[in-house]
Amino acid sequence: MCCNIRAVRDWHPAYTRSMLLLGIESSCDETGVALVESHGNALPLLRAHALHSQIAMHQAYGGVVPELASRDHIRRVLPLTETVLAEAGRSLAEIDVVAYTRGPGLAGALLVGAGVACALGAALGKPVLGVHHLEGHLLSPFLSADPPEFPFVALLVSGGHTQLMRVDGVGRYQLLGETIDDAAGEAFDKSAKLMGLPYPGGPWLAKLAEEGNATAFKLPRPLLHSGDLDFSFAGLKTAVLTQAKKLGTALEVNKADLAASTQAAIVEVLLKKSMAALEQTGLKRLVVAGGVGANRSLREQLNAACAKRGVRVHYPELHLCTDNGAMIAMAAAMRLQSGLVEASERYAFDVKPRWPMASLMTPEAPSRVPA
Ligand code: KG4
Ligand code: ZN
């Protein structure tokens, strides 16, 4: 921990203020609210967080219904705010900055978090800060009991994004490779749907895979030998569909094997490309973030491969892998500490449903490193 405090201090030595930040996440189907406290340039600490998952509500529709998501965020966000304040023993008046997810995500859902954050900020006379959802995921391992130190290679695997990055500090990100079509999370979710598993498919497929034989079906490992660090998962989904059709009524008894084979294909590609990224950069630290980072098989295989190479690997706490308010408050705190941004009293809640992460990368760092 002391090494991390030093590392954080190095980013912006002039920063000394203490701050209590409220973080609000509402980009998709979880309403997350959290309080993070930062003192000077020490690693910010999570004081309380609360989450409401809409999974049960959307399950009947087989996926997220944006209008229902927005309405539910409206219902949940203020009670969750009261919960975290009570849990941390703090009052609204003590909040210094209100952070919210500005994008990417569902426009209506984002507007709820942004609207509430700006209304709270205006009422309290405190500034607000819009946070990039993926930067929240990326920095979420800093909330864990074993936080990383810069620099590291990051494998960012969420529902809509699969990226490998070199991370030298807050805002100092270089894209090493990314998916050219579906994300790994999408591959899990779409394959699960084809197998008739409930939404969200990833965790269900992973659970079923534990009972199956991962070598039962030969599925493609897209771009495994492409020589670059890009991913492609759309073909895998098609291969799963072909296999499911071929099985017909026999799918039911072979479902666990198909799930295990699908998971093995996704994990192998993520594993091999992550190892290649470590080799290419020469870095000895890997950080995994985003919902797919909760996958047990991925963790086991990354742990084993990293141990063999003398690489330290870090994950967010399991309950902070998927969307939550803590990562939004943390990213805001770390951005403010780094001096890259200032919180604003403009209260313009201009959300960005599409917001490429490349726009956060520092101008001196190329947005893409040549292979
Ligand atoms: O990061 P996240 O919560 O939301 C986005 O920002 O997209 O990631 C959600 C994704 C979904 O695709 C979900 O199926 C997947 O993470 N996921 C998993 C597991 N838990 C969540 N995929 C595989 N295994 C899991 N255990
Ligand atoms: Zn997310």
Residues in CB range of 131: below 8 A, 6 or more apart: 23, 99, 100, 101, 102, 328, 331, 332, 335
- pLDDT at position 238 over 60: yes
pLDDT tens, 148-170? 999 999 999 999 999 999 999 99
Radius of gyration of the chain measured on its C-alpha atoms: 20
pLDDT tens, 254-263? 999 999 999 9
Tell me the C-alpha distance between 104 and 19, whole Å: 26
Q: Determine the pLDDT at residue 361.
A: 80
pLDDT tens, 200-210? 999 999 999 99
Q: Determine the pLDDT at residue 371.
A: 43
What is the CA(200)–ligand 1 centre distance, in A?
Answer: 8
What is the CA(161)–ligand 2 centre distance, in A?
Answer: 9
Strand partners, 344: 128
Q: Which of 292, 297, 298, 324 is the pocket-test mutation for ligand 1 (most atoms within 8 Å of CB)?
A: 292
**What amino acid is encoded at 26 in this protein?**
S
DSSP 320-344: GSSS-HHHHHHHHHHHHHHTS---B
Which residues, judged by CB distance below 6 Å to any ligand atom, belong to the binding site of ligand 1?
A: 137, 158-160, 185, 188-189, 200-203, 206, 290-292, 294-295, 322-323
**More confident: 296 or 2:** 296
Q: Could you tell me the CATH superfamily of domain 148-315?
A: ATPase, nucleotide binding domain (3.30.420.40)
Query: Which atom of ligand 1 is the closest one to the Cα of 200?
Result: 14
Task: Report the SS3 class of residue 124.
Answer: helix
Fold classification of 8-139+321-360 (topology level):
Nucleotidyltransferase; domain 5 (3.30.420)
Provide CATH 3.30.420.40 ranges for the chain. Answer: 8-139+321-360, 148-315
Eight-class DSSP state of 170:
T
Reported pTM:
0.93
